[in-house]
Structure 1
Amino acid sequence: MKVLKFGGTSVGSAENINKVITILDQQSKNTNIAVVVSAVGGITDKLLEAANLACNKNEAYKQKYDVIWSIHNKVIEGLFENSANDNEIKKQRDSLSDIISEKLNDLKSLLNGIYLINELSPKTKDKLLSFGEALSSTIIYHTLKSRSLDAALKNSQEVIVTDSNFNNAIVNFEVTNSNIQNFFSTNSNSIVLFPGFVSKSTHGEITTLGRGGSDYTAAIIAAAMDANELQIWTDVSGMYTTNPKLVKQASPIIELSYQEAVELSHFGAKVLYPPTVMPVLKKQIPIVIKNTMEPEAIGTTITKNTVNTDNSPVKGISNIENIALLTLQGNGMVGVPGFSKRLFETLAQEKINIILITQSSSEHSICFGISANDAQRAKEVIDTVFEYEIALQKIDPIVVETDLSIIAVIGDKMKSHQGISGKMFSTLGKNNVNIRAIAQGASERNISAIIHKNDVKKALNSLHEQFFEIKTKQINLFITGVGNVGERLIEQIKQQKAYVKENFKINLRITGLSNSRKMVVNDEGIDLKNWKEQLEAGETASLEGFFQHAKSLNLRNSVFVDITANEAVSKIYGEYLKQSISVVACNKIACSGNIEYYNELKTLSRKYNASFLFETNVGAGLPVIDTLSHLITSGDKINTIQAVLSGSLNFIFNNFNAETTFYDVVKQAQEEGYTEPDPRIDLSGIDVARKVLILARESGHAIELADLESDNFLTDAAMNASSVDDFFETLKTDEAYYQGLFKSAEDKNCQLKFVAEFNDGKAKVGLKEIPEGHPFFNLKGKDNIVMFYTQRYPEQPMIIKGAGAGADVTASGLFADIIRIANN
């Protein structure tokens, strides 16, 4: 014999009930089955809503009743929609409608009575709620009969006997088991239908079995009959590794032990309720959780012994919402027995359930988690009980923290695996999930932590990634500045996404995009096939708005990428770092501006475990800063830095000669994207100055931009021009001056290079005549070169050389920084 239970969603519509009937027809051919059904989906809530309205003298309860009537009649119409040409089936449909109408009239009379007496007692509430299962089981039974299936309907109230604890009755198993066994000993039907959730007291009063009561009904019947299997049919394909609504990568768990299932169900896995397991656990009857909508899916099987490989000790990650954390603390508790007894007795007397407990070894404090709905009442009664000690300042008034949730990592064999708790807490820490309390039993089947409710989604995704996915790390990118370099970066990510995921187990996902006008954010990731259209259709851009989106989404492994030259953008880096959102900056302003801000960003990066990388600040895609960092970390000391750090200036002076004009070369550099739209930013040397300043700071020297010596080669007219167009006119006017610079170098067989130097704590930049044989002499095109003279490289420097300008190489440098963060 098998026992099958179908939840509210499974019987929530005519379409779903037809699926249920197909399942029953198939299974009843092989064995007799007992079938327990819940109320039609949503009806229990609607019954309560109607009753509460009636109790409050609100005549809107009549509209709620009408909705309940309409739902059931719609189900009947759907189940018998082909009865028009079959008189016998039509007759059965009409008979069923009459029976349901009679039951609904009884419900209406009960609601009218609640309205008249203005009271809803626990006893009346149970009578009211019993209508849901009575209606659904009656509809399904008559539908089975109309389709010639061998079915019977048995009222659960005739076999399940309880005490008079209304709303959550305690089962008398001795009488109940006897009743069930006696019934089946004389029953010959292939299918026996039972309404779930309902029962009767020893005094003949209607009672209910409380939350998850239909599951419990099925388990009681299965245990009484020593069934071969208990099947729980719902709208998901088993118990999942975590909440699939919050974690897209969650997957069904094929096998669980009873204890694991109890832990997961206790901690929020709503597919199964903890009391359900108990009757069948004693008899070791397997529980199979199946999906009514996908009956062919394997589902989850719960048994005594399961296969648990060494590689997967964690079976699931669950959570409970709406938690309050209460703390009783004070020096007067230390070494004084009885505090815990008084505390927990007080809560028990108030019927307040404790979900989690943790106590410091010093006995200075006791923390416990309860439902937030009970928090205020708990505080009041505890403060009253300990009023004397509080008055003497032996203990503090109870401290209540709300807006919390519990997350739990669960698995039978976690105890035999080292480092499970370490992985759990380090993963949460890396994602800036603050843990308020921890509880772990000696069995190590469950490791629980209380966190803020806003961090639940990030915590579950992070932990699921750690314990269940093939070490694929998801990186969520928020990119601002999608001009030339930004477009290339997006294209590189689109092109390399599959390769990076396959070879490095990194899933790159662009979650937010912004330019100066528009921004778009999608926590599922932006489709890179049409990102420009999505951005153009996005909301009005703002720095604060973009940040608030990133903050409120609170996604794991988030990275803010700044591909602008905007000072305002650089000023918001700290806010991102405080949210543990890493920052990748192409923008040089933050690292070359005020040194206090530079140091602050470095401190925030360490404090909030968020990377702050800016490799492209110097040398575009060249690994200049990374190499410097490795030198310093390994204990080397920088003596001198000599560098050509402007690809645009190098391009200009490599192409400027007696046959060209300085104007033409600068104009070409601007048009080909080697300079900023305003070339003075490049030609003034400020960009190079910022770069060498950053290298000096990364070498450990605290210098400001004002400390740097700059030898400007532009004329005063060029520097003081009121516009870019005026600037270009000065180049034409002063062509003889620029030709003079070239002629001076040519006469000495030298090349003009704009050089940055750092030596003995001082930095300077300027145009130099580089003699033949010098490493800078043959530097071509837009290449950069950096020479590090260090204690380990005192005579022959470490040289880094390559393209130092261009959208593609700059984008590749940003890409490399993102991958560095992913590998951290």
Structure 2
Amino acid sequence: MKVLKFGGSSIASSENINKVINIVKNSSAETNIAVVVSALGGITDVLLNAGALACKGDESYKNSFQIIENKHIDIIRELIPVNNQSGVLGQIKKMLNTLENTLEGVFLINELSAKTSDKIVSFGELFSSFIICEALKSNGLHSELKNSQELIVTDDNFSNAAVIFSKTNKNIENFFKQNSAKIVMLPGFVAKTEQGEVSTLGRGGSDYTAAIIASAVNASVLEIWTDVSGMYTANPKFVREAFPIKNISYQEAMELSHFGAKVLYPPTIQPVLKKEISICIKNTFEPEAEGTLISKKSSNENPIKGISHIENMALITLEGGGMIGIPGISKRLFGALSTEKISVSLITQASSEYSICFAINNSDSEKATEAINKEFEYEIKQNRIEPLVVEQNNAIIALVGDHMKSHQGISGKMFSTLGKNNVNIRAIAQGASEKNISAVISHKDIKKALNTLHSEFFENQTKQLNLFVVGVGNVGGKLLEQIKQQQQYLLENLKLQVRVIALTNSKKMLFNEDGINLDTWESQLPNGEPLNMEVFHQNVTDLNYRNSIFVDNTANESVSKLYANYLKESVAVVTCNKIACSSSYNNYLNLKYLAREYNAPFLFETNVGAGLPIIDTLKNLIASGDKVTKIQAVLSGSLNFIFNNFDAETSFSDVVNEAGVQGYTEPDPRIDLSGIDVMRKILILARESGTQLELSDIKNNSFLPQSSLDADSVSDFLETLKLEAEHFNKIQQNADANNCRLKFVAEFDNGTANVGLQKIPSDHPFYNLDGSDNIVLFFTERYPIQPLIIKGAGAGADVTASGLFADIIRIGNN
């Protein structure tokens, strides 16, 4: 014999009930079955609300009653053939009249006892079981209705009654021995006391009913049909990659259920656990899906069976020197909570006995505080115990698995994985059996923590990177193109899944929590929201994704001022914007500090040399103990392009315009030609080499005439380049006369720095620097005579984008 239980979501509509009928039909073809049903989806809540309103003297309880009546009558008319409807409708209306009279009585006396509440709420299962039984009969199935209230006997603890198994089992055994029906339909959740009063089995009561019956009849299996395909490795609402667990033990299932897996309620397992009857969790809407089998033993393919959590928890700490070595403190503490019927979900105590920390539901925190303060009033007044510390808005996250105890390092992996993603752990609990490792975290970190742990323990080490990209012009557009091109390669070879969650241009911003389609982003972005960087930051914070990276492709000062805000939220920053690292030295140091403090990488390789590994090489030199004594460099790809193409046949103005067209200069070419851009770059290199330096400390030997320096706008500046053509021609002619080439050189030597246009002779390493290439010479204690040279393309959207991409991948690989 099999026992099948169907929850409220499985019978929420006539369409769903027809699916249930097909499942029951197929099951009954193999063996006799008992079918336990919950109330129709949502009806229990409406019944409870009706009772509460009636108790308050609020006549709107009648509206709730009308909803209940309409729902059941509509279901009958949709399910039962017209010729058979009158008898079914007549019986339901009698039951509805009884319910209506009960609610009216509550309304008149403005009182709702637990006993009366049980009577009201029990109608949900009585209605549903009767209707579905009649629907089965209408489909030609041999079905008989049996009221569970005639079988299950409980004490009089109304709303959460305890089953008296000696009488209950006897009733069930006798009934099924005498019954010959192929299908027995029973309402879940409901029972009666020894005195014959209506009682209910509390939360998860329908599951419990099914387990009680399965145990009493020694069923071959208990099938619990719901709206998901089994117990999942994590809550699929939070973790999209979660998948059903094929096989799990009773103990693992209870642990997962206790920690928030709502597919099953822990007490459900107890009756069948003793008899070693398997439980199968199945999906009403995908009956062919394998589901989850719960049995005595589980497979040991993965020591972790699932990751679960409980939301809305308060963490309470009782501590003080007066607790050390004093027997009975724990007894008094938890006795006070027990008196108030407060359930404790997690407990941890320091070995010094100085503090006890425990987690309870947020809603119980005020009541718990009052009870504990009263219990320890004397010790608190004597300063032997500190005032209670209550921290709300927390959650408990738990790893569950029978075989964790035989695998070393699971705790370490769990906590290091959370730590790398800056999920702060407030408390830890782990039993000696090692079937459950629990930690208290902030409520806002639930999604990040679940996804991080699921990726670590279940997803073949694939790491997801979530990008928030500001600026999709030349560089940003190329970056997106490169990401799109390499997505599959990164996934297959580096186990990196790169998703672009947000994009902005100067006017619009676009968010997609699942990742923006990089084939269509250009058509989507114009339809996005108006750009607001505060809202953008808030969205990033609210999403709280693991491995979040803020990518700045702009040259905007206001954007650079936001880096600290992102780093404080443990969001990595990757940028080609040089303004932040060349701002005040204190701000530069603060950004570095925040990156370390919040474990959020701050990478800016493209600040100097675009995609060239200049900063990374410098960092490695310093980290290995070398010391930089001198730096000589050509750091402006745009200026190198300009002076490599400026000759007697081409005007300086035309070359500058061409550099802009090619994407070598900043949108405002004054930044390049004034030397400011190069000053920022040598400043960054000086700082990265360990020198405290400000931008104002760098000497700028400008080659521009005063009229160009004084220009108020970009157009005015470009006009001065035409008017001052003779000035630039003389500079070029002077270099040619000395058989030299013009290069804009940056130098850092013994703590001082300068930039300026220099005439480079033919025997110098800079002489043959072509196109827009950059070159850097590092003179160090290890390279005193022959410098370490880095040379290559130092400007252009493609190489700058590739440098940004390399920083993103570097974060992914760490």
Q: Deviations over 1:325-381 (max 9, x none)?
A: 111111111111111111111111221111111111111111111111211111111
Q: Please, which of 285, 296, 305 is the counterpart of residue 297 of structure 2? A: 305
Alignment-derived partner of residue 23 in structure 1: 23
Alignment-derived partner of residue 3 in structure 2: 3
Distance in 1 separating the partners of 2:443 and 2:184: 44
Q: Please, which of 345, 370, 381 is the counterpart of residue 380 of structure 1? A: 370
Distance in 1 separating the partners of 2:663 and 2:278: 69
Distance in 2 separating the partners of 1:669 and 1:715: 20
Q: Deviations over 1:644-686 (max 9, x none)?
A: 1111101111011111111221121122222123322111111
Shift in Å at residue 532 of structure 1?
2.6
Distance in 2 separating the partners of 1:299 and 1:658: 80
Q: Is the 8 A contact 2:380 2:386 kept in 1?
A: yes
Match of 1:700, as an amino acid? Answer: G
**2:262 is the counterpart of 1:266:** no
Q: Is the 8 A contact 1:692 1:763 kept in 2?
A: yes
**2:116 is the counterpart of 1:136:** no
Match of 2:41, as an amino acid? Answer: G
Shift in Å at residue 799 of structure 1?
1.4
Alignment-derived partner of residue 110 in structure 1: 102
Shift in Å at residue 419 of structure 1?
1.4
Distance in 2 separating the partners of 1:342 and 1:708: 69
Q: Please, which of 300, 313, 330 is the counterpart of residue 323 of structure 1? A: 313
Distance in 2 separating the partners of 1:677 and 1:450: 49
Alignment-derived partner of residue 230 in structure 2: 238
SS of 1:210 mapped into structure 2: coil
SS of 1:577 mapped into structure 2: helix
Shift in Å at residue 543 of structure 1?
2.0
Distance in 2 separating the partners of 1:10 and 1:306: 27
**2:88 is the counterpart of 1:96:** yes
What is the root-mean-square deviation of aligned Cα atoms in Å? 1.1
SS of 1:120 mapped into structure 2: coil
SS of 2:11 mapped into structure 1: coil
Distance in 2 separating the partners of 1:683 and 1:344: 73
Q: Please, which of 542, 549, 555 is the counterpart of residue 545 of structure 2? A: 555
Shift in Å at residue 729 of structure 1?
2.8
Distance in 2 separating the partners of 1:342 and 1:365: 14
Shift in Å at residue 529 of structure 1?
2.3
Shift in Å at residue 522 of structure 1?
2.1
Alignment-derived partner of residue 689 in structure 1: 679
Match of 2:60, as an amino acid? Answer: A
Q: Please, which of 533, 536, 543 is the counterpart of residue 546 of structure 1? A: 536
* Residue 147 to residue 723, structure 1, CA distance change in 2 (3 Å): closer
Alignment-derived partner of residue 698 in structure 2: 708
Q: Please, which of 143, 162, 171 is the counterpart of residue 151 of structure 1? A: 143
Distance in 2 separating the partners of 1:720 and 1:297: 75
Q: Is the 8 A contact 2:247 2:293 kept in 1?
A: yes
SS of 1:301 mapped into structure 2: strand
Q: Is the 8 A contact 1:663 1:728 kept in 2?
A: yes
Shift in Å at residue 277 of structure 1?
0.6
Shift in Å at residue 576 of structure 1?
0.4
Shift in Å at residue 793 of structure 1?
2.0
Shift in Å at residue 147 of structure 1?
1.4
Q: How does 1:771-782 map to 2 (within 5 A)?
A: 771-782=761-772
Distance in 1 separating the partners of 2:576 and 2:534: 19
SS of 1:643 mapped into structure 2: strand
**2:591 is the counterpart of 1:622:** no
**2:180 is the counterpart of 1:168:** no
Distance in 2 separating the partners of 1:777 and 1:214: 85
Alignment-derived partner of residue 58 in structure 1: 58
Q: Is the 8 A contact 2:549 2:572 kept in 1?
A: yes
Q: How does 1:44-55 map to 2 (within 5 A)?
A: 44-55=44-55
SS of 2:668 mapped into structure 1: coil
**2:621 is the counterpart of 1:631:** yes
Match of 1:229, as an amino acid? Answer: V
SS of 2:335 mapped into structure 1: helix
Alignment-derived partner of residue 799 in structure 1: 789
Q: Deviations over 1:772-810 (max 9, x none)?
A: 132211111111111112222222222111111111111
Match of 1:627, as an amino acid? Answer: T
Match of 1:236, as an amino acid? Answer: V
**2:447 is the counterpart of 1:430:** no
Q: Deviations over 1:509-563 (max 9, x none)?
A: 1111122221122222222222233322222212222111111111111111111
Deviates more, 1:662-671 or 1:52-61: 662-671
SS of 1:377 mapped into structure 2: helix
Alignment-derived partner of residue 278 in structure 2: 286
Distance in 2 separating the partners of 1:326 and 1:673: 59
Distance in 1 separating the partners of 2:720 and 2:274: 94
**2:37 is the counterpart of 1:37:** yes
Q: Is the 8 A contact 1:486 1:563 kept in 2?
A: yes
Deviates more, 1:674-683 or 1:760-769: 674-683
Alignment-derived partner of residue 180 in structure 1: 172
SS of 1:346 mapped into structure 2: helix
Alignment-derived partner of residue 86 in structure 1: none
Q: Deviations over 1:143-183 (max 9, x none)?
A: 11111101111111111111111111111111111111111
Match of 1:687, as an amino acid? Answer: D
Match of 2:344, as an amino acid? Answer: I
SS of 1:308 mapped into structure 2: coil
Match of 1:584, as an amino acid? Answer: V
Distance in 2 separating the partners of 1:207 and 1:447: 37
Q: Deviations over 1:183-215 (max 9, x none)?
A: 111111111111000111111111111100000
Distance in 2 separating the partners of 1:810 and 1:38: 61
Q: How does 1:569-580 map to 2 (within 5 A)?
A: 569-580=559-570
Q: How does 1:594-605 map to 2 (within 5 A)?
A: 594-605=584-595
Q: Deviations over 1:356-408 (max 9, x none)?
A: 11111111111111111211111111111111111111112322211111111
Alignment-derived partner of residue 679 in structure 1: 669
Deviates more, 1:617-626 or 1:418-427: 418-427
SS of 2:476 mapped into structure 1: helix
Match of 2:88, as an amino acid? Answer: L
Match of 1:430, as an amino acid? Answer: K
Match of 1:50, as an amino acid? Answer: A
Distance in 2 separating the partners of 1:399 and 1:636: 50
Q: How does 1:202-601 map to 2 (within 5 A)?
A: 202-309=194-301, 312-601=302-591
Match of 2:247, as an amino acid? Answer: E
Distance in 2 separating the partners of 1:679 and 1:378: 66
Q: Is the 8 A contact 1:514 1:546 kept in 2?
A: no
SS of 1:10 mapped into structure 2: helix
Q: Is the 8 A contact 2:682 2:746 kept in 1?
A: yes
Distance in 1 separating the partners of 2:376 and 2:744: 77
Shift in Å at residue 314 of structure 1?
0.8
Match of 2:220, as an amino acid? Answer: N
Alignment-derived partner of residue 87 in structure 1: none
Alignment-derived partner of residue 654 in structure 1: 644
Q: TM-score, normalised by structure 1?
A: 0.98
Match of 1:265, as an amino acid? Answer: S
SS of 1:592 mapped into structure 2: coil
Match of 1:168, as an amino acid? Answer: N
Distance in 2 separating the partners of 1:723 and 1:45: 68
Q: Give the % identical residues.
A: 63
Q: Is the 8 A contact 2:662 2:796 kept in 1?
A: no
Distance in 1 separating the partners of 2:153 and 2:711: 96
Distance in 2 separating the partners of 1:363 and 1:372: 25
Match of 1:504, as an amino acid? Answer: L
Alignment-derived partner of residue 730 in structure 1: 720
Distance in 1 separating the partners of 2:446 and 2:726: 68
Match of 1:307, as an amino acid? Answer: S
Question: Unaligned 5+ residue runs, structure 1?
Answer: 84-89
